[in-house]
C-alpha cells in the first residue's frame, strides 16, 4: 500500500495536479521538491527511519536556473536515490515518450512505472498507483506491449515509408506505385497489407488511424 509520497517536479502546475490526484486517492502524506538535490536530500533524511517514503514521483527534465545543483535531471536522481533507498518505488512522470528512453528506465533503472504527461495523465497516475500498491509495475499500454512482445521493435524503411505515406493521405491502393517511385522493395499491395497487419498486431492497434496516431505520439514518423 502506498502511503507516503515524494514528488520531484520543477513545474509548479504539474506539481499541483499530482498532489490533487494523490488526494483523490486518499493519500495525504506527501512532500514535494522543486529540485533534484532537495528530493535526494529528503530521501536521505528519511530512508533509514520509520518516516521513509513508499513512492517517489519524478519528472525527467528539470529546468536549470540560477541555483547551482549537483543533480540536473530525473535519471541521475533515480540512480542516486536507488543507492540510498533501494526499496523506494519510483514512478516517472514525464513528457518524454521515446520508446528507447522508457525501455532504458524500465530495464536498467528498474522503475516501477512510467506516466506520460498527456491528455488523461491524471487518470493514468491513479491506475499506476493502484497497480504499484499491488506490486505490479505500470507502463503505458503500447510500451507494455512492445516489451512483452518483440522488444526493441525498430521500424524499417519499408515500414516507416508505409506509415508516412498513410499519414500523408495516400490511399492504400496507391501505395505500391509510390513505393516504386521511392525505389523501396517490396512494393506489392499484398506486401503492404501484410506489413500493416503485422504492425497493427505488434503495436496492438486496431485500425490504420490508430496506427498513425501511435506513430505520431512516439515520434516514429
Interface residues toward DNA, by CB under 7 A: 171-173, 176, 185-191, 193-194, 196-197, 207-208
Q: Does 67 bind its own copies (CB under 8 A)?
A: yes
Q: Does 208 bind its own copies (CB under 8 A)?
A: yes
Alpha-helical regions (H) of the chain: 12-24, 36-46, 74-84, 99-107, 121-133, 141-148, 157-167, 175-181, 189-203, 208-217
Q: How many CA atoms lie within 13 A of 219 on its CB side?
A: 7
Binding positions for its own copies, 108-147, rule CB under 8 A = 119
Q: Does 17 bind its own copies (CB under 8 A)?
A: no
Question: What is the C-alpha to C-alpha distance for residues 140 and 22, in angstroms, rounded to an integer?
Answer: 19
DSSP strand pairing (4-8 vs 55-58): parallel
Q: Does 16 bind its own copies (CB under 8 A)?
A: no
User: For residue 129, with 0-12 CB atoms within 10 Å meaning exposed, 13-18 middle and 19 or more buried, which class applies?
Assistant: buried
Q: Does 6 bind its own copies (CB under 8 A)?
A: no
Nearer CB in complex with DNA: 127/208 = 208
Q: What is the DSSP letter of 188?
A: -
Nearer CB in complex with DNA: 122/184 = 184
Among 3, 12, 70, 123, which residue sits at the site for its own copies (rule: CB under 8 A)?
12
We find the least distance from the C-beta atom of residue 55 to DNA, in angstroms, to be 41
We find the least distance from the C-beta atom of residue 162 to its own copies, in angstroms, to be 11
Q: Does 173 bind its own copies (CB under 8 A)?
A: no
Number of residues that bind its own copies (CB under 8 A): 28
Question: What is the C-alpha to C-alpha distance for residues 87 and 2, in angstroms, rounded to an integer?
Answer: 12
Residue 76 binds: one of DNA, its own copies, none (C-beta under 5 to 8 A by kind)? none
Q: Report whether 42 contacts 33 (CB < 8 A).
A: yes
Q: Does 198 bind its own copies (CB under 8 A)?
A: no
Nearer CB in complex with DNA: 187/218 = 187
Residue 190 binds: one of DNA, its own copies, none (C-beta under 5 to 8 A by kind)? DNA
Residue 93 pairs in a beta bridge with 115
Q: Does 167 bind its own copies (CB under 8 A)?
A: yes
Rounded to whole angstroms, what are the CA distances from 207 to 6, 161, 164, 201?
40, 17, 15, 10
Which set of grid coordinates corresponds to residue 221?
514518423
Positions that interact with its own copies (CB under 8 A): 10-12, 63-67, 119, 166-171, 205-213, 216-217, 219, 221
Amino acid at each position: 500500500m502506498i502511503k507516503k509520497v515524494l514528488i520531484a517536479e520543477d513545474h509548479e502546475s504539474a506539481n499541483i495536479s499530482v498532489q490533487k490526484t494523490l488526494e483523490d486517492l486518499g493519500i495525504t502524506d506527501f512532500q514535494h521538491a522543486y529540485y533534484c538535490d532537495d528530493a535526494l536530500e529528503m530521501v536521505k533524511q528519511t530512508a533509514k527511519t520509520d518516516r521513509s517514503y513508499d513512492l517517489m514521483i519524478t519528472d525527467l527534465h528539470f529546468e536549470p536556473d540560477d541555483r547551482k545543483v549537483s543533480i540536473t535531471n530525473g535519471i541521475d536522481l533515480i540512480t542516486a536515490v536507488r543507492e540510498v533507498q533501494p526499496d523506494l518505488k519510483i514512478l516517472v512522470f514525464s513528457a518524454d515518450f521515446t520508446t528507447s528512453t522508457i525501455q532504458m528506465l524500465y530495464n536498467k533503472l528498474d522503475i516501477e512505472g512510467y506516466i506520460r504527461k498527456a491528455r488523461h495523465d491524471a487518470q493514468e497516475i491513479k491506475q499506476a498507483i493502484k497497480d504499484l500498491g499491488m506490486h505490479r509495475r505500470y507502463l503505458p499500454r503500447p510500451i507494455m506491449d512492445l516489451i512483452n512482445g518483440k522488444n526493441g521493435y525498430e521500424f524499417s524503411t519499408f515500414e516507416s515509408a508505409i506509415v508516412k505515406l498513410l499519414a500523408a493521405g495516400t490511399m492504400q491502393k496507391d501505395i505500391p506505385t509510390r513505393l516504386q517511385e521511392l525505389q523501396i522493395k517490396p512494393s506489392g499491395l499484398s506486401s503492404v497489407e501484410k506489413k500493416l497487419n503485422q504492425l497493427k498486431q505488434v503495436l496492438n492497434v486496431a485500425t490504420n488511424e490508430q496506427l498513425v496516431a501511435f506513430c505520431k505520439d512516439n515520434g516514429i514518423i
